[in-house]
Structure formats: C-alpha cells, structure tokens
Structure 1
C-alpha cells in the first residue's frame, strides 16, 4: 500500500521538478538582468566623471557662455539618466528578491515531496519485511509442528 502511494506521487514530483527548474531559470535570468543594470549604471557614472574631468580641463582654459549652458544641460541629462538607471537597478534587484523567494519555495516543496515519497517507500519496505518475517515464522512453525520421521 505505501509503495503505491509513492507511485501515485510520481506525476506530482515531476510537476514540482519542472516548476523548480523553471523558477531556477527565471532566477538566473534575473541575476543576469541585475548584473547588466549594474554595469550600465557603472558606465553612466564613469561617463559622468569623465565629463566632469573634461569640464575641469576646459574650464581652466576659459569657456564661452554657450559652452557652459550646453555643458550644464548635458550634465543635467546625464544625471537624469543615472537616476533612471538607478531606479531600473532597484526594480531589478527587487524583482530578483521575488524570483529568489519563488525559487526557494518551489525547491522546499520539491524537497518535502521527495521526503514524503521516501517515507512511503520506507514504510513499504518495513511492511514487506514484516510480511516476509511472518511467512518465515509460519513456515518454521509448520515445520516444527510436523511429526518427526526417523
């Protein structure tokens, strides 16, 4: 009986394994997206720093009012892009946390199902051992109750 219970759970375990693999795949994709967003933010910040260095070099030689206005406008746009990329990174990190939690939940469910199947199989082995022992005891008793022939 317990072995058949374990066998009936096989399709459920297959579905749980597929769900866990899919969640792990999505988690991996989320990690990639976070890494890409971090890299892009780093590039924007580096570009901002480089542009500021250019300002220092150019500013020491004197600049026109038009150049200064263009510089400030571009710097503002760059700051805006950095802020937008930071928000994007924050979103991706938050999403990654959700994906991690989903994967962990599916992994825990799969592990629980596997433990349940193992328990059912152990119960089946124990029951089979008891049946076998009972048969051996009965056989032994029959042999001992037979009249001895000389």
Structure 2
C-alpha cells in the first residue's frame, strides 16, 4: 500500500478515535452523574429513616407513620431504578472504552506499517546512494589508473 494512502488512513482513524474519545468522556461523565444521583438519593433515604425513627420515638399517629413508611417504600423503588440507570451508564462507558481501545490499537498498527514503509524507502534510498557512490569511486579509480 502506498505511503500516502496509509497516512490518509491513519488520519481518518485518528478522527474516528477523537470522536470515540469524546463519546467515552461523555459516557463516563453520565455514569458519574448517575452515581452521584444514586448516592444523593441513598443519603436522603438514610436521613429520612432517621427522622422517621426520631419522630416515632416522640410518638406519632399510625396514619402519619404509614405515610412515612409509604414514602420510604417510594424511595426504595427510586433507589432500585437509579441503580439500574447506574449499571446501564457503566455498561455504556465500558463499551465506549473498549471501542476506543480497539480503535487506538488499529491506529497504532497502521502507524507501525507507516514506520516500516518509511524504513524500506530509506533502505532503498541508502542502497541507491551507495550504488551511486560506488560508481563514482569506480570511475575515479579508472581515471587514475589510465
């Protein structure tokens, strides 16, 4: 494959890699955001349960206590749903990372091909130059001898 074609392919790969890098960063940010929301909700649930317990010790009507329990149940359901969002966001971030790593591996392989191609071009140029120097040396030798 021609060197220019390989270089063009690497440029295209780099652009794809940059897009994947941005997608990975966005997915990672989303995952972290989902985790923070989950943690905030979990912290709120703990505080709410503690408030319920302290108010229960002070004494409260059974209707009010049932309302507190119902709300805790809703918080539990919200935590379960948020945990699923966290897992989905993590899976998405992991998938983006794997895609990015695969793209980087592919680009690096192409760069190695370019390096080999450049080395081969340099070897050919060196051989051509050596051949030319040998010819000049041979001609100079024959001029001196004659």
Q: Does 1:79 align with 2:76?
A: yes
Partner of 2:41: 44
Which of structure 1's runs of 4+ aligned residues deviate more than 6 A? none
Partner of 2:16: 19
Aligned equivalents of 2:51, 2:7: Cα separation in 1: 66
Partner of 1:118: 115
Pick from 55, 66, 72 the counterpart of residue 58 of structure 1: 55
Query: Tell me, what secondary structure is at the counterpart of 1:63?
Result: coil
Pick from 83, 99, 103 the counterpart of residue 102 of structure 1: 99
Q: Which stretches in structure 2 are left out of the alignment for 5+ residues?
A: none
Partner of 2:138: 141
Count of aligned pairs between the two proteins: 146
Q: Deviations over 1:77-110 (max 9, x none)?
A: 1000000000000011111110110000000011
TM-score scaled to structure 1, two decimals? 0.93
Q: Which stretches in structure 1 are left out of the alignment for 5+ residues?
A: none
The offset of 1:47, in angstroms, is 0.4
Aligned equivalents of 2:52, 2:5: Cα separation in 1: 72
Alignment RMSD = 1.3
Query: Tell me, what secondary structure is at the counterpart of 2:58?
Result: coil
Query: Tell me, what secondary structure is at the counterpart of 2:60?
Result: coil
The offset of 1:146, in angstroms, is 2.3
